[in-house]
A and B are shown apart, each in its own frame.
Chain A
């Protein structure tokens, strides 16, 4: 056996195999990336304010929360699931943080930890409903979505919590080295970790096997249920992290925060080339998807398009991107 495997290790891949695309690499996100560049060019021509470092940083600030949530959503969608609860879980985590801090004078650092733990617990509940109770992910996370939103409102009877210490709001407002706020830096770090994990680690590659076919994955010895549970838990944890980032940006905790985030996150992941059937997608694509949504909002605002019309445009972009992707896949 060892000789045989040794042989494999020492063999370089024949050069004919070069053009092989690794599914999670940028290779899969080339189409969306072209779209993002075209979008940038278009808005630069349409608005004199669009193409500037200042505006680019604005876009990054605006997409931090969506970016963090979308990382978790990518993993969930790659394993063939869906998480509709992200927005509500974010709000619940955020309210727990503010409520502990204001009503019980818990130190803010501990409140941050609590927010992340609450997110993780919510994710774990979704994961258990999916893996143990065998609910369809859509139904399980729909239920958690409703419950989490209700809890977010109950904590303060629907009131927002205002006034965090300065150091906390500075996390998202002070730009170190003139461009990098800590929240944006956090997104970048999370993206790199998640991207590397999903592309170059066995644990991450297993997500693609599970999404491709959970039965194949199980027979190949992958602990499908455990991994799926961890994916939902991880998505919840990231919602908690996103809640902290959003609280810092808003300098408040609001029970209505994160409304509709699940749709933006799903849109970003899908624009980035993921398939809701699972097994396809990646962090690189999701980043491009998030930037497309961020750029669209920002550019359309600059051009003076009303928020209502923006919703229509986002919808059209999602349908267009996925149609394009599906047609491309069929021709391959």
Chain B
């Protein structure tokens, strides 16, 4: 902590009494270029407490956590931490004070070992050399504490996302962090991994560690949080002393209007079978002997925990990855899938799992992104004219209700609008089969509802729709039938009325 910070924060300036040895945030405001993004936030986190920070994207959760973790400095306001004034000028100030941020997109070095990742920047030295023995021993102890049985010498790249996240937590713990800010920690985790993370949080909480937990998933927050603070448009809307609140109330506080139902009405499917998948098996063993069919106007959800082979399955069906055996039929005609183009030409499209890396080129414009893969629809003769591309894009923007202009860079759009661009791009082809992998990952509640409406609309126009999601509510709320995978095996194909939370989870974890 810097001396200047202590000098400027005197009791006179800070009339509110700090509440004990935890973190207290008082009147924090932040302006970027004169635009206020946070107004006057008060927040308390006591030792051994999990405080959930709720809010839509852009509500100010990330800005607030960045301020607490020292990434950016507030325009006004003050903080106290462990009874002392706290004004971190950099992330290292915050770490030194014992506050660590576990970022949504993990910041690790994939080609170094786990131990090296844990100790990067402060490798233990002896006689002028790195003391690998000590480093590995300390890292192993930390991993054991989190219940991980992985050798600390293993290369990080070889770990699953969930395990990588645990390494981040181990790293924060060796830094003696007493307050951990978890930004969407479960975004990439399946049910079992989430459970493990929660049991770790519970254990650490009992040892006096505090957490600020940022998530979009309300059921998770009800499970893990002690208290909830809701942000909207940069202001604190409400602070609840309990996490046991009706979801509807929280959603309404987040979006600032009443939300009757998030999931739209879905129309009954038609008789005609459009997509038939017969005994498909992956060459890598990611899935084996999976068969299902999708009718026109039907939405089939694919549920399963991470590693169940859901993404691998839909990627293979759409030609992105090879199939070892089995057949994919469209309107009864077997497809020869040598690559995505074959699937697209046949009328089967996929909105991929990772929007920013597989779905969109974020540094390019909205119009360019709409055009890639769709030039055949917007050529005049064989020429691609910018005016035509813009008109095509403008049309899609209006139809989908995308908030953006054709020339705008994708990076400057919100997650929900980005996802709408990916969907719009493929809707333009009027496909027969529309597959969406994690359609609402990292998208805030208000925008989610809009995506759900779009998905229901796709089915209503007669497309066969497949939705893969880690969010069970989503699968149950949208699908006519639910295909459950577990460890690459097909465990069941449930009708909407049989597909309860419990029924699906039982199959998924079998």
Residues of A within 8 A of B (CB): 1, 4-5, 7-9, 11-14, 16-17, 19-23, 25, 200-202, 205-206, 208-209, 212-213, 215-223, 279-280, 332
Roughly how many angstroms separate A221 CA and B425 CA in the complex, as a whole number? Answer: 12
- From B340, B390, B394, A221 is in contact (CB under 8 Å) with B340
- From A19, A202, A279, B375 is in contact (CB under 8 Å) with A202
- From B339, B358, B368, B428, A208 is in contact (CB under 8 Å) with B368
Residues of B within 8 A of A17 (CB): 390, 394, 405-407
B377 within 8 A of A: yes
Say which size band chain B's interface belongs to.
Answer: 35 or more
Residues of B within 8 A of A (CB): 320, 339-341, 343-345, 350, 352, 357-361, 363-365, 367-368, 371-373, 375-377, 379, 382-388, 390-392, 394-396, 405-407, 409, 425, 428, 430
- From B352, B365, B394, A13 is in contact (CB under 8 Å) with B394
Determine if A20 and B372 form an interchain contact, defined as CB atoms under 8 angstroms apart: no
Determine if B382 and A202 form an interchain contact, defined as CB atoms under 8 angstroms apart: yes
Q: Which residue of A lies closest to B350 (CB)?
A: A219
Instruction: Please provide the 3 A-B residue pairs with the shortest distance between their CB atoms, ordered closest to farther.
Output: A20-B407, A220-B373, A212-B361
A218-B340 contact, Cβ under 8 Å, with A11-B394, A212-B364? yes
Residues of A within 8 A of B367 (CB): 20
Q: Which residue of A lies closest to B344 (CB)?
A: A221
Residues of A within 8 A of B430 (CB): 1, 4-5
Residues of B within 8 A of A212 (CB): 361, 363-364, 368
Q: Which residue of B lies closest to A4 (CB)?
A: B430
Determine if B320 and A20 form an interchain contact, defined as CB atoms under 8 angstroms apart: no
Known contacts A5-B377, A217-B372, then 8 further A-B pairs from the complex at CB < 8 Å, ordered by chain A residue: A21-B407, A201-B382, A205-B371, A212-B368, A218-B339, A219-B359, A220-B425, A332-B409
Among the interface residues B357, B407, B409, which one has the most CB atoms of the partner chain A within 10 A? B407
A205-B384 contact, Cβ under 8 Å, with A212-B361, A212-B364, A220-B340? yes
A8-B395 contact, Cβ under 8 Å, with A1-B430, A20-B406, A216-B359? yes
Residues of A within 8 A of B365 (CB): 20, 23
Residues of A within 8 A of B395 (CB): 7-8, 11
A216-B390 contact, Cβ under 8 Å, with A205-B384, A208-B364? no
Determine if A215 and B357 form an interchain contact, defined as CB atoms under 8 angstroms apart: yes
Shortest distance in angstroms between A167's beta carbon and chain B's nearest beta carbon?
37
A202-B405 contact, Cβ under 8 Å, with A213-B361, A216-B359? no
Determine if B384 and A8 form an interchain contact, defined as CB atoms under 8 angstroms apart: no
A11-B391 contact, Cβ under 8 Å, with A20-B367, A220-B372? yes
Roughly how many angstroms separate A205 CA and B378 CA in the complex, as a whole number? Answer: 12
Roughly how many angstroms separate A131 CA and B258 CA in the complex, as a whole number? Answer: 53
- From A16, A202, A213, A219, B384 is in contact (CB under 8 Å) with A202
Among the interface residues A1, A8, A12, which one has the most CB atoms of the partner chain B within 10 A? A8
Number of A-B contacts (CB under 8 A): 117
Shortest distance in angstroms between B338's beta carbon and chain A's nearest beta carbon?
10
- From B345, B357, B376, B383, A200 is in contact (CB under 8 Å) with B383
Determine if A221 and B373 form an interchain contact, defined as CB atoms under 8 angstroms apart: yes
Determine if A209 and B361 form an interchain contact, defined as CB atoms under 8 angstroms apart: yes
Shortest distance in angstroms between A157's beta carbon and chain B's nearest beta carbon?
46
Roughly how many angstroms separate A218 CA and B379 CA in the complex, as a whole number? Answer: 20
- From A7, A16, A202, A219, B358 is in contact (CB under 8 Å) with A219
- From A14, A216, A218, B361 is in contact (CB under 8 Å) with A216
Determine if A216 and B382 form an interchain contact, defined as CB atoms under 8 angstroms apart: no
Determine if A22 and B386 form an interchain contact, defined as CB atoms under 8 angstroms apart: yes
Residues of B within 8 A of A213 (CB): 357-358, 360-361
A13-B373 contact, Cβ under 8 Å, with A212-B361, A215-B358? no
- From A11, A221, A280, B339 is in contact (CB under 8 Å) with A221
Shortest distance in angstroms between B317's beta carbon and chain A's nearest beta carbon?
13
Shortest distance in angstroms between A102's beta carbon and chain B's nearest beta carbon?
43
Residues of A within 8 A of B364 (CB): 23, 208-209, 212, 279
Residues of B within 8 A of A5 (CB): 377, 428, 430
Roughly how many angstroms separate A213 CA and B357 CA in the complex, as a whole number? Answer: 7
Roughly how many angstroms separate A25 CA and B425 CA in the complex, as a whole number? Answer: 23
A221-B345 contact, Cβ under 8 Å, with A20-B405, A208-B368? yes
Residues of A within 8 A of B368 (CB): 23, 205, 208-209, 212
Among the interface residues B339, B376, B388, which one has the most CB atoms of the partner chain A within 10 A? B339
Q: Which residue of A lies closest to B391 (CB)?
A: A13
Shortest distance in angstroms between A29's beta carbon and chain B's nearest beta carbon?
16
Q: Which residue of A lies closest to B396 (CB)?
A: A8
Shortest distance in angstroms between B405's beta carbon and chain A's nearest beta carbon?
6
Determine if A206 and B394 form an interchain contact, defined as CB atoms under 8 angstroms apart: no
Roughly how many angstroms separate A279 CA and B411 CA in the complex, as a whole number? Answer: 15
Residues of A within 8 A of B392 (CB): 8
- From A13, A218, A332, B390 is in contact (CB under 8 Å) with A13
Roughly how many angstroms separate A98 CA and B379 CA in the complex, as a whole number? Answer: 44
Q: Which residue of B lies closest to A217 (CB)?
A: B372
Shortest distance in angstroms between B418's beta carbon and chain A's nearest beta carbon?
12
Roughly how many angstroms separate A212 CA and B411 CA in the complex, as a whole number? Answer: 13
